[in-house]
Structure 1
């Protein structure tokens, strides 16, 4: 009988756990799994770092080591309820660590040259430093745009779990500023209470009875603005920092 050809074992085929499930196990102390995940996602780390640096990065470079530290940090800091997948979160953490590293290197380079060169060279180094800073600022702005678009897409998909679309949300947004601000306060109250936040995430419904114990508005008001309150609460609960402007107080 002809023997079956064995398929290579990968981290995705070892079990039915999602990557997020594995990250949770790592946070509970599974260091062996941590090493497996780090080893498996080296290409991902190199890709993110190379994109930030705008050049090829391999495992021998300092930038790769910084990316590795960022990936490891992301595994420790990731929270399932924040509304994004782990790799999206890890991408963001790695980018920030690399940008911080570039900034630090730029400052050190400037200090070294200003201490060791003549005045005519000093001007050239200052110009080079300014150009490098402008490049970093431009890239940061691009990252912010990308992060906002990524969070909008994740938030959009999250809302579908509650049968809410952006179109429906725009139609259910309170028209008056004071009504919107009141709804935001209700949403913030919900998000600040873990039990109510958990109720919303699990049952996909507002815990209206519990909310009424903490807010001054009526049941009718909460029910009328239900979809808007849910959306705002999810921004708080999910930590959608790029959507923060949506929940900032407005001028009455």
Structure 2
């Protein structure tokens, strides 16, 4: 076990939102790390038990993997990425456990196939069922992440006076127009001085954009809402929505 089980609590003067505490740890207040990990052992145990579909106690390897994943989540969490820390930590723990379960399944496969008393076909069938269950679980997780991203993205759009309904009614109708708008949005995102101005004013910096793109002011203005919507997917780091902003085939 890499972490002490002492019942250490974050001091009253150290309290803040969970995300603030995580940021402080990342900035060097590492004394808060062990306290945070100890305080959230019940959370880790709950997530691990759900993934493994059985009770997990603190002596099991799966629990240690969950704690390590929680510690990694502290280091890799970023504010403004569209999710709270516990949502992010839940995802990291689940991914680490799935990797572990897959490795164990592969190891057991070799042990089963090397055993004279085991039936290779039965062992292979069991592994297929395990893999199918893991694949189904992964798809469920991806769907959940997409739902969360969509809800957060919807709120982000509202800050700019946009909605899905507006975009469906006023977005470009032709693939080449949409592709051009996506290119403009990506150009905006790639230049920090443009994206910073955009986020501050909530207006497209059209004049500055024209220095980097080969289209007219009229084109930008006509597709302004769609360009903003695409740029917000990039800026909000909504990874599950990235497929919606890939260039479309013109065939």
For structure 1, which segment, 99-108 or 55-64, has the greater mean C-alpha deviation from structure 2 after superposition? 55-64
Q: Note the residue ranges of structure 2 that are not aligned, 5 or more in a row.
A: 1-7
Which residue number corresponds to residue 3 of structure 2? none
**Distance 1:73-1:133 versus aligned 2 partners, 3 A rule:** same
Which residue number corresponds to residue 237 of structure 2? 239
User: 158, 161, 169: which is aligned to 1:160?
Assistant: 158
Which residue number corresponds to residue 112 of structure 2? 113
**Distance 1:201-1:19 versus aligned 2 partners, 3 A rule:** farther
1:64-103 equivalent positions in 2, closer than 5 A: 64-103=63-102
SS in 1 for 2:102: helix
Separation (CA, whole Å) in 1 of partners of 2:168 and 2:143? 22
1:166-185 equivalent positions in 2, closer than 5 A: 166-185=164-183
Separation (CA, whole Å) in 1 of partners of 2:160 and 2:10? 32
Separation (CA, whole Å) in 2 of partners of 1:12 and 1:242? 37
Residue deviations 1:145-172 (CA, integer Å, cap 9, x gap): 1111111112112222222222222223
Compute the displacement of 1:103 (Å). Answer: 0.6
Compute the displacement of 1:79 (Å). Answer: 2.0
For structure 1, which segment, 74-83 or 128-137, has the greater mean C-alpha deviation from structure 2 after superposition? 74-83
Which residue number corresponds to residue 204 of structure 2? 206
Separation (CA, whole Å) in 1 of partners of 2:73 and 2:196? 23
Q: CA-atom RMSD, angstroms?
A: 2.3
Separation (CA, whole Å) in 2 of partners of 1:236 and 1:172? 20
Separation (CA, whole Å) in 1 of partners of 2:140 and 2:202? 34
Which residue number corresponds to residue 228 of structure 1? 226
TM-score, normalisation: structure 1: 0.87
SS in 1 for 2:83: coil
Separation (CA, whole Å) in 2 of partners of 1:159 and 1:91? 26
User: 106, 119, 123: which is aligned to 2:121?
Assistant: 123
SS in 1 for 2:119: helix
Which residue number corresponds to residue 47 of structure 1? 46
The 8 Å contact of residues 44 and 66 in structure 2, kept in 1 or not, is answered as yes
Q: Note the residue ranges of structure 1 that are not aligned, 5 or more in a row.
A: 1-8
Which residue number corresponds to residue 191 of structure 2? 193
Separation (CA, whole Å) in 1 of partners of 2:94 and 2:11? 25
Separation (CA, whole Å) in 2 of partners of 1:199 and 1:45? 41
Compute the displacement of 1:222 (Å). Answer: 1.9
SS in 2 for 1:230: helix
Separation (CA, whole Å) in 2 of partners of 1:171 and 1:10? 53
Compute the displacement of 1:51 (Å). Answer: 2.0
The 8 Å contact of residues 81 and 237 in structure 1, kept in 2 or not, is answered as no
Compute the displacement of 1:107 (Å). Answer: 0.4
Separation (CA, whole Å) in 2 of partners of 1:219 and 1:11? 55
Compute the displacement of 1:12 (Å). Answer: 10
- Count of equivalent residues: 243
The 8 Å contact of residues 50 and 57 in structure 1, kept in 2 or not, is answered as yes
